[in-house]
Copies of this chain bind each other. A is one copy, B any other.
Amino acid sequence: MARQQQHSDLLAQEIPGQPGDGSDTGSTAVIVSTGAEHASAGEALAGYLRTQATAFLRGLGMRGEAEAEADALLRASARRIAGALHTYADLADPAWAEPMRAELSWLAATLGREPQYVGRLTRLLDALRRLSAAMPAEDPAAVQAAAGPGAGRATAAPAPLAVGAARAAALLERQLTLARTRAHSATLQAMGSARFHALADSIAVLASEVPLTPAAAGPVAEVLPPLAAQAHTRLAEAAGTLPLRRAGHPYNAEAVQAALGAELTADLQDAPWHQVRILLRLSRYAAEVPGSGGRVAVPAPRLSEAAAVLQRHHEAAESASAVAAAARTPRIAPATAYALGVLHADQRHEVEAARFAFSRLWQA
């Protein structure tokens, strides 16, 4: 706690009240202008890293009051620092940057687990609610016409299938809440560890001084854009290998193949899409550095939409896996297993829907 306070003091001295977004899928990060458009590449990168480091230290100071927001801020800045160090690796001392990136990845992964379980549970309970909804929200007239008199009563009665859905919801809630609690403890433990304090110290140093290489002395306009372009190219190439044409056909029933397939089928299918999701994030972070050219092959709003779609793809795929895992719980009732099967297929269709949406966005 004393150390955390110390980092916050450092922050208070440095940048009083810089606003941060804390979100990770938004298209724009708040970037404090370095006011040095004609500076060296190293200065531009260092300026960006300082901004992120400041956000990180601010997140650290916030943890006492708003833990979730603070963690989101910590995670977003950790990812951005790691991303910039990856894309502009030529400009920073690798002996310092590489261990730093590894520690940032560890922290971002640790911090990410709890919100992921929270989001997964919300998504699955919402889906179960939607799947067991007695009636579509629209077209009450058409529904009534089709039902005829007396049908309203029958519809209102609880269906046997709904029992399975309720049990499936209870099972998922139990399992994911347990996972969440564990993730929370792991986060608390990580935040109190010597490992974390060493990382926070490095980031505090980063706020004042970034160890650069000689290559960083070159002018911004010559050094940064080619490195950023490499990140964009890696993204474009990876997206180019995706089966976009097939995914662009609605109802291709491709993603649901994995639902009853061998365990690995889903992972194999999803992996290239997850890879593009990560490269897309790196490409966006690379473009945030002032003077990097900023331009990506795809316009920014469409990029951020594509990022959101791939995020949905990832969440649906992970949720489907969680459902499959829940279905392997010993001694569950057949009705519960049935509801989980429906839910699994539903989430795999969400995966397919996300691929369709990405395909349309990317090929537009």
Contact = CB atoms under 8 A, between A and B. Distances in A.
Given A142-B243, A333-B334, A337-B337, A259 B155 contact: no
Contact of A136 (B133, B164, B165, B257): B257
A338 B332 CA distance: 11
Given A250-B250, A338-B340, A344-B342, A260 B132 contact: yes
Interface string A319-348: 000001001100011111111111111100
B151 A346 contact: no
A93 B136 CA distance: 44
Interface stretch (A8-16, A24-32, A74-82, A261-269): A261-269
A251 interface: yes
Chain A, interface size category, equals 35 or more
Contacts of A146: 267-269, 271-272
Interface string A130-144: 111111101100110
Interface in A154-188: 154-162, 164-165
A215 interface: no
Nearest to A164: B260
A356 interface: yes
B265 A134 contact: yes
In the assembly, how many copies of this chain are there? 2
Given A128-B260, A337-B337, A250 B353 contact: yes
A232 interface: no
A147 interface: yes
B336 A254 contact: no
A259 B342 contact: yes
Given A151-B268, A260-B131, A246 B338 contact: no
Which are the 5 A-B pairs with shortest beta-carbon distances?
A341-B341, A345-B345, A250-B250, A251-B353, A334-B337
A10 to B, nearest CB: 44
A335 B158 CA distance: 25
A309 to B, nearest CB: 12
A133 B264 CA distance: 11
A190 interface: no
A281 interface: no
